[in-house]
Amino acid sequence: MALHGAHVMEWQPSSAPNPVLYLSPAAVLQEGKAIRGGIPICWPWFNARPGGQPGPSHGVARSQFWDLVSVTEDADGVTFVMSLVHESLKATATLALGDKLTVSLESENLGEESVKLSGALHTYLKIDEITMITVGGLAGREYLDTVGTPTRRTQDGPVVFEGELDRIFDHSGMIRVDDPGLDRVLQIEKEGSPSTVVWNPWAEKAAGLADLPDDAFKGFACVEAAIANEAAVELPPGATHRLGTTVSVAS
């Protein structure tokens, strides 16, 4: 865990023989930088800041230190609660680590005007080999393919990886990642998430990322609970919105 970004860096339930999250060995642990791997919190916007205003890509949450509100432990595991205020928005992250991993992000509008809210829980899943996995639950869904010229398409069957992949799906349901190399299925459930992002940079883009080994793209896939682009939520004064993801392991 890191207060930097309210970031789950690594997680492996006691019942699983292998780690579930991928953390780059070259990750930069420095305020102002996002940690590469684990579950970065993209908030309070997704991609570029709306309206052409200045601000880092994917918001400020993943590169700042959060305030630790509480840590509790019971038979189910350990729960961390952290908070961050940015302008008129307050974020509260609840991170529950046990046999399942749940990250819940509640946003509250403290201001007097409505705010457009977007973001993502950018989950890096550790897998055996990128060309061998499949991502199920998205067949028949429309998505925006952002590799090259952005194009709207419809998913045919499970998602497979044969090169750089960056797709934003219109999808709010469950996702299953079949990883035959590790003989397991990873299940991702979402809350308050009208978008699912599936991403892998592949060789050329991975080589251009200083905080990622050149061949590391082979060992992870990102499957994100998101509120992306046109799916942004209108948050009136005093209103709240909860974005959540739960990851579990099946054999």
Residue 241's domain comprises 41-250
Number of compact structural domains in the chain: 1
Selected catalytic residue, list 4, 7, 58, 122: 122
| Residue 64 domain-assigned (yes or no) | yes
pTM score: 0.96
Contact 114, 41 (CB under 8 A): no
**CA dihedral angle for residue 22, residue 27, residue 31, residue 34, rounded to 10 degrees:** -50
Annotated catalytic residue 224: yes
Selected catalytic residue, list 7, 108, 171, 224: 224
CATH code (residue 220): 2.70.98.10
Contact 156, 136 (CB under 8 A): no
Tokens of 38: 């684990």
| Residue 91 domain-assigned (yes or no) | yes
| Residue 174 domain-assigned (yes or no) | yes
Identity of residue 154:
T
Residues 83-121: pLDDT tens digits? Answer: 999 999 999 999 999 999 999 999 999 999 999 999 999
Contact 99, 15 (CB under 8 A): yes
In whole angstroms, give the CA distance from residue 101 to residue 185. Answer: 15
Residues 156-204: pLDDT tens digits? Answer: 999 999 999 999 999 999 999 999 999 999 999 999 999 999 999 999 9
Q: Is the pLDDT reported for residue 54 higher than 80?
A: yes
Query: According to the model, what pLDDT value does residue 50 have?
Result: 82
| Residue 35 domain-assigned (yes or no) | no
| Residue 211 domain-assigned (yes or no) | yes
Contact 95, 103 (CB under 8 A): yes
**Secondary structure class of 156 (helix, strand, coil):** coil
| Residue 229 domain-assigned (yes or no) | yes
Residues 111-126: pLDDT tens digits? Answer: 999 999 999 999 999 9
Average pLDDT of every residue of the chain: 96
Share of the chain above pLDDT 70, in %: 100
In whole angstroms, give the CA distance from residue 190 to residue 175. Answer: 9
| Residue 77 domain-assigned (yes or no) | yes
| Residue 24 domain-assigned (yes or no) | no
Per DSSP, helices labelled H in the chain are 202-207
In whole angstroms, give the CA distance from residue 105 to residue 83. Answer: 9
Tokens of 86: 């940015």
